[in-house]
Structure 1
Amino acid sequence: MTESQDVLNAWVERVHCAGIDVNCHANGDVAIAAMLTAVERAQKLYPRPDARPRITHCTLVNDALIARIKAAKAIPAVFSTYPYYNPDKFPFYGEETLEHAMALRSFLDAGIPACAGSDFDPGPFSPLMALQAMVTRKGWDGKTWGANQRITVAEALKVNTLNGAYATHEETIKGSIAPGKLADFVVLADDPHTVDPDRIKDIRILRTVTGGATAYEA
């Protein structure tokens, strides 16, 4: 914790009242609880039905926190490459902790539209690595941690696309391929649904299109 609850409450209230969605970095369960307390307080004092507060990382949760996150309509921006990129830290956390960390399965099962975050540049900015990590929960060392939090490829794609657009109130213009939306998409050499899950991060990117114009082509 870097701020007292009173200081956090004041900042969240100020941002919330300005019509801006709060986005707070909170990793541990104590910090997440403090963030939720501030958001709940601000909403009670100054209701904003369209508010979509975000919790960056939102790493370690429990059932009570998940219920509060859903009630507050908060959106976890989960550190999605972490399970693959940082397994050297996991023996210090332990398996029991990892069963409640980067808890995408729990969030989605609760109906919470969690999105993804890379923590770039301390963490790698690689959407395909993120997809692989979310689907396998396996690190670069081949060990699996918190397998109960695995999600499907289809769910991981939604977390990385449409849910991210929803978090910023942009779901009507981006996040999926549909008439009237921005022509932003990527063409991959293989289908993440059918390739070996342990090779998703290695799928070649053939083309990226932004606003209907090719930005990259292999």
Structure 2
Amino acid sequence: MTDISRKDFLGLSTVTAAGLASGCAPIAAEVDVTADLVVVGGKVLTQEADQSSVDAFAVKNGRFMAVGSNEDIRNLTSVNTEVIDVSGMTVLPGFIDAHSHPSGAGLNALKNVNTNLGSVARIQDALSERAAATPPGEWVVGYMYDDTKQEEGRPLNRIDLDAVSKEHPIVVGHRGGHTGVYNSKAFEVAGITVNTLDPFGGHFYRENGELTGKVAERARGVFNVPSGSTREERATGVAVICSEMNAAGLTSVHQAGTGSAAFVAYQDARDTGTLSLRMNLMARGGTFPALQSAGIRSGVGDEWIRIGPVKFAADGSASERTMAMSTPYAGRPDDFGILTMTQEEVHEVVEEAHRAGWQIAIHANG
């Protein structure tokens, strides 16, 4: 960044005027040297070695215009400038999230049951309240569950969810995004029994010859849980998560895996003025063929919505102990985690994406 005062800008105006007087082609009729926004009275961390902090900064047309002292930056104001005095607070550049799933998180917050409650009993209570307001046969969905943070010292299981309802299929998704816990009704609807074989890249967990309710990776696909959301709700979900992430200091986000409905939701949010995060959207592998056939590739877009890599997943999750390992998990001598792609599949998709001009991201925790 450059420390620019009003004097510097007036000097620029003088040079422009001199050029006009000497017969040069005009650059502009006027140079507007006033800011749209100034922030003063703070400790602004610039990330520059030779001027690591300043008192204030000015913004124009969404770009930093100047940094410097309170006096210099106030000189760039007009009656139309918004002035914020941060009263000694530290001001940091916006944070960049390198890997998250905002559109899904926003929709969850809007429609589903937050089960980040720290207790099996409290999770049951929250799900029971939702089930009571849900017609029999329709899904009840929980999210943000963490199996390692329950007061009871054990994970949620199928029997716990059966106690909530045997008339509603129920799933509680882990916050890591790679496993879920299902009740007996959900298994029944999906046609899964204790004798059902694991699909490649997935696992139905069993204990003492019975299904525990936990399901991992590709095996979750057999349940076909409907999103139950409208286009308007998906755009609203984006607005909700933008507000939450902005409040945590985030201004730019990489969404790891974006389906067609999420692409539309981000554009809809932008059209309504509620997209306040700059998004780099990694396309899901399933969305890639349609984008490829349309001639779209990595880099298409602008500063608010840009298409990034195509994303594939080769194994599971560290937090859920499903990532593929070269040695078994502690206390589970036969459990090496889960590979969700073969080496041949990896070679095939990487070559295809590379030849089509795409960047490639592959989830591989193990």
Q: How would you bin the TM-score normalised by the shorter chain?
A: 0.3 to 0.5
Q: Name the TM-score, length of structure 2 as normaliser.
A: 0.23
RCO comparison, higher one (Cα < 8 Å, 6+): 1
Q: Name the TM-score, length of structure 1 as normaliser.
A: 0.33
The structure with the larger Rg is 2
Greater fraction helix: 1
